[in-house]
Chain A
């Protein structure tokens, strides 16, 4: 079974803090994704990566950055957290760098609250 784990289930941070969200997958998947889920908006893609040290902007990259130093690990960084970044953050991975429409495996999510 593919397992995608996220470092925290719940996180509370203050405005202006630097926030790191970590994601690890154990199935040697090439693609990794970061989404945020907000009511009425569904899942919106922040960043994705199809290889180590490679990253691509998704639909809403502003205020975020990512790091992929190892194939199994994809980190999302909020350089200076703001209240509008309060959300559920979901990490996902999928098998092949040549196809993005393959099934994605999601982690359980991190509920981030910025006060």
Chain B
């Protein structure tokens, strides 16, 4: 049973528009969330994170929103660029002493 779900396996967005990647989790004990980006033939790289005490964290073109009551988070990329085309993994952990659980990933294609 997946504790971290990314229900959209793929997403296509026009260059310059907003990309919204969604993630749902089932375990209310999760208190720290991360997004990783993965290009083909490379390992994932850390993108952005958010603690459960916040509902928003911003880093340049990337913003993560957290809705604890809905157990939902989303990653917004504005404006989307072709170089953003990659697989995005959502991840969560229960406490700082516990392992991180990854979702199945969403493949984003940004069309020039």
Contact residues of A with B, CB < 8 Å? 4, 9, 33, 35, 40-45, 48, 58, 90, 92, 98-101, 103-109
Contact = CB atoms under 8 A, between A and B. Distances in A.
Nearest to B90: A42
Contacts of B4: 42
Contacts of A35: 102
Contact of B42 (A42, A43, A101, A108): A108
A100 B98 contact: yes
A100 B98 CA distance: 6
A106 B98 contact: no
Contacts of B44: 43, 90, 104, 106
B93 A42 contact: no
A109 B42 CA distance: 7
Contacts of A48: 99
Interface residues of B, number: 26
Contacts, number: 63
A105 B34 CA distance: 13
A42 B43 contact: no
Contacts of A42: 4, 6, 89, 102-105
Counting from the closest, the 6 A-B pairs by CB-CB distance are: A106-B43, A42-B104, A43-B102, A103-B46, A101-B93, A99-B96
A42 B89 CA distance: 8
B43 A90 contact: yes
Given A42-B89, A42-B105, A43-B89, A98 B43 contact: no
B99 A100 contact: yes
Nearest to B32: A101
B100 A107 contact: no
B96 A98 contact: yes
Contacts of A40: 9, 104
Determine which residue in A44, A58, A104 has the highest number of CB atoms from chain B within 10 A of its CB, and name it.
A104
B43 A108 contact: yes
A4 B41 CA distance: 14
Given A108-B42, A109-B43, A98 B89 contact: no
B14 interface: no
